Amino acid sequence: MSNKVALVTGAAGGIGSAVVRTLAERQIQVAAVDRDGEHLAQAAKQFAADGLPVRTFTADVADPENVETMVDAVEQQLGPVDFLVNTAGVLRMGSARTQPLEDWSATFAVNAQGVFLVSRAVANRMVPRRSGAIVTVASNAAGTPRLGMAAYSASKAAATMFTKNLGLELAEYGIRCNVVAPGSTDTAMLWSMWQDDTGAQATIEGRLDQYKLGIPLGKLANPDDIAAAVEFLLSDRAGHITMHALTVDGGATLGG
């Protein structure tokens, strides 16, 4: 995988940053993309200090023109994109009956439309080269209902099925498209759901009042756990795997 080019969205987030580091440590040239320029710059300083081949690009994945301009810039500066990893995501908690429309729209703009726009822009450049691999980081919530997470779950389900459909369309060109579906991962997004310092243990043990199973392996995922799954699906070791969703949740959805 060395000397390839990867584009990673949501690169300033916990999982996105771990994916960037994992790929860069394989000597892949990484375009780290995020709309949060401040946090992206902070991450870039650490990558540079560690001597990793990472270049940053600020872009909003929900903006069609912004996406096309960003992908053009990546290919001009780093070369043809071999790998795309969609990790950009937002979480807006709320009841399906009362959640404001703006929260629903904002969730889908990033989690679903963002995957559509970036994947389309990169895929259209991969097709003439007849090579490439795409991984979308979705969620185990895409297939398991969660209280207060209707918008998030629905948007991740949309991103999952879009990626699988894209994989079917791109198979004739030798381009693979897969999904990694994390469960509870030790990131700022998960922390935002906790009410107090018992949040981690409650997540591991499960909540009967929320119809939520715990985690059989007895621990939260680390962002590196998710990054390792992404790296595998991009690699030649997964060369005959496409349109697959790999769940990485410690057994929280009991293999469902």
CA distance 163 to 171: 12
CA distance 232 to 223: 14
Q: Is residue 200 part of a domain?
A: no
Q: Is residue 17 part of a domain?
A: yes
For residue 57, which phi and psi values (nearest 5 degrees)?
-140, 125
Kindly state the average pLDDT of the residues 83-90: 98
Residue position matching structure tokens 């399906």: 96
Higher-confidence position of 193 and 134? 134
Q: Is residue 109 part of a domain?
A: yes
For residue 86, which phi and psi values (nearest 5 degrees)?
-90, 105
CATH number at residue 15: 3.40.50.720
Q: Provide the pLDDT for residue 206.
A: 85
**Contact at 8 Å (CB) between 177 and 134?**
yes
CA distance 114 to 36: 15
Is residue 234 pLDDT above 80, yes or no? Answer: yes
Q: Is residue 191 part of a domain?
A: no
The percent of residues in the chain predicted with pLDDT above 70, rounded, is: 99
Which of the residues 110, 152, 154, 223 is marked catalytic? 152
The least confident of 11-25, 64-78, 121-135, 196-210 is 196-210
Q: Is residue 190 part of a domain?
A: no
Q: Provide the pLDDT for residue 55.
A: 97
Q: Provide the pLDDT for residue 172.
A: 98
Q: Look up the domain containing 69 and give its range.
A: 5-185+226-243
64-86 pLDDT, tens digit each? 999 999 999 999 999 999 999 99
CA 60, distance to chain mean position in Å, is 15
pLDDT band at 256 (very low <50, low <70, confident <90, very high): confident
Higher-confidence position of 188 and 30? 30
Q: Provide the pLDDT for residue 179.
A: 98
190-221 pLDDT, tens digit each? 768 777 777 888 788 888 888 888 999 999 99
Q: Is residue 174 part of a domain?
A: yes
Name residues whose C-beta falls within 8 Å of residue 17's C-beta, 6 or more positions apart in sequence.
11, 43, 223
The reply to whether 173 belongs to the active site is no
Q: Is residue 170 part of a domain?
A: yes
Closest C-alpha to 135, from 230, 11, 13, 246 = 230
136-165 pLDDT, tens digit each? 999 999 999 999 999 999 999 999 999 999
Kindly state the average pLDDT of the residues 114-123: 98
Q: Provide the pLDDT for residue 2.
A: 86
State the sign of the Cα–Cα–Cα–Cα dihedral 140, 146, 151, 157: positive
Q: How many domains does the chain have?
A: 1
CA distance 84 to 188: 23
Q: Provide the pLDDT for residue 135.
A: 99
Q: Is residue 90 part of a domain?
A: yes
Q: Provide the pLDDT for residue 191.
A: 66
Kindly state the average pLDDT of the residues 78-98: 97
- The average confidence (pLDDT) of the chain is 95
For residue 66, which phi and psi values (nearest 5 degrees)?
-60, -40
